[in-house]
């Protein structure tokens, strides 16, 4: 009797391992597979692969397209993924990336997230530069304000952009500030094309900055990461492109940790 229980346990563990191996066949590059491909990738015979595929489909872990004969990840996987991601806060997920970027560039790095028509600083890690930023964690600003606001506003719908700019019109914080709404719109179009924004003294005299968007698992921009740099130093920097790449790489890494697997801009 004991031997039978042990055999049953071994059988169920083996079946579980095989099911996990089948799920591992899917990736950002392989989004659908046939039963034959599963058998080839896992080393299972066709009969066993098909049986397990049917069980996974019955539990909505996979979905079968009867026309193409391909299997895709099912609604239950999406549901579980959403639960896993939502159980972690953006700040927790981004924390190490914020620290790494701060250490690499030496400047203060901030993480901002959208809250309706405003943004809130979710994290701030001071750098070794002499620039002091008064914005602290929890500070709330309209999306039409500052380096972080314009990046987040750029990824809203055009109607939403117009609504927010009507309620919170751009102001002349410095002689170089953009107060013309059409030009502001053009800047936001440029942000979406490039995937980042670099500004010099648009919102604070003697200060510029670089900021890039962060996407969640659906592809929506929900936050951004950026740094403030002395405007004169930014103009004279020989490694401006390198700084941009470092900020963008940090935003891409956070997006990946949030489950974003695409290459939208």
Give the Cβ contact number of residue 93 at 10 Å: 19
Spatial distance between the Cα atoms of 163 and 143, rounded to a whole number of angstroms: 11
pLDDT in tens, 86-128: 556 788 899 999 999 999 988 889 999 888 888 888 888 888 7
- Helices of type H across the chain: 2-23, 35-42, 46-58, 75-86, 90-105, 146-154, 158-167, 181-194, 231-236, 240-257
Tell me what pLDDT residue 56 has.
94
Q: Are residues 165 and 44 in the same domain?
A: no
Range(s) of the domain holding residue 253: 88-257
* Statement to judge: residues 150 and 248 lie in one domain: yes
Of 56, 83, 110, the last residue of a domain is: 83
What phi and psi values does residue 263 have, to the nearest 5 degrees?
Answer: -140, 40
Residues 55 and 116 both lie in one domain: no
* pTM greater than 0.85: no
Residue % of the chain over a pLDDT of 70: 82
């Amino acid at each position: 009797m004991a031997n039978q229980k042990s055999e049953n346990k071994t059988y169920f563990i083996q079946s579980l391992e095989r099911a996990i191996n089948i799920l591992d066949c899917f990736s950002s590059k392989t989004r659908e597979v046939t039963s034959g491909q599963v058998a080839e990738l896992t080393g299972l015979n066709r009969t066993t692969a098909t049986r397990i595929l049917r069980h996974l489909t019955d539990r909505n872990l996979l979905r079968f397209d009867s026309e193409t004969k391909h299997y895709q990840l099912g609604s239950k996987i999406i549901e579980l993924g959403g639960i896993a991601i939502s159980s972690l806060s953006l700040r927790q997920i981004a924390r190490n990336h914020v620290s790494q970027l701060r250490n690499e560039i030496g400047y203060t790095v901030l993480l901002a997230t959208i809250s309706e028509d405003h943004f809130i600083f979710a994290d701030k890690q001071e750098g070794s530069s002499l620039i002091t930023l008064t914005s602290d964690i929890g500070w709330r600003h309209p999306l039409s304000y500052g380096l972080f606001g314009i990046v987040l506003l750029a990824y809203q719908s055009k109607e939403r952009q117009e609504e927010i700019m009507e309620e919170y019109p751009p102001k002349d914080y410095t002689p170089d500030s953009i107060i013309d709404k059409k030009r502001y719109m053009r800047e936001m179009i440029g942000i979406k094309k490039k995937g980042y924004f670099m500004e010099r003294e648009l919102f604070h005299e003697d200060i510029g900055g670089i900021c890039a968007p962060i996407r969640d698992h659906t592809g929506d921009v929900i936050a951004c990461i950026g740094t403030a740099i002395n405007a004169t130093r930014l103009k004279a920097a020989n490694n401006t492109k390198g700084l941009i790449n470092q900020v963008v790489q940090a935003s891409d890494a956070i997006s990946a940790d949030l489950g974003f697997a695409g290459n939208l801009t």
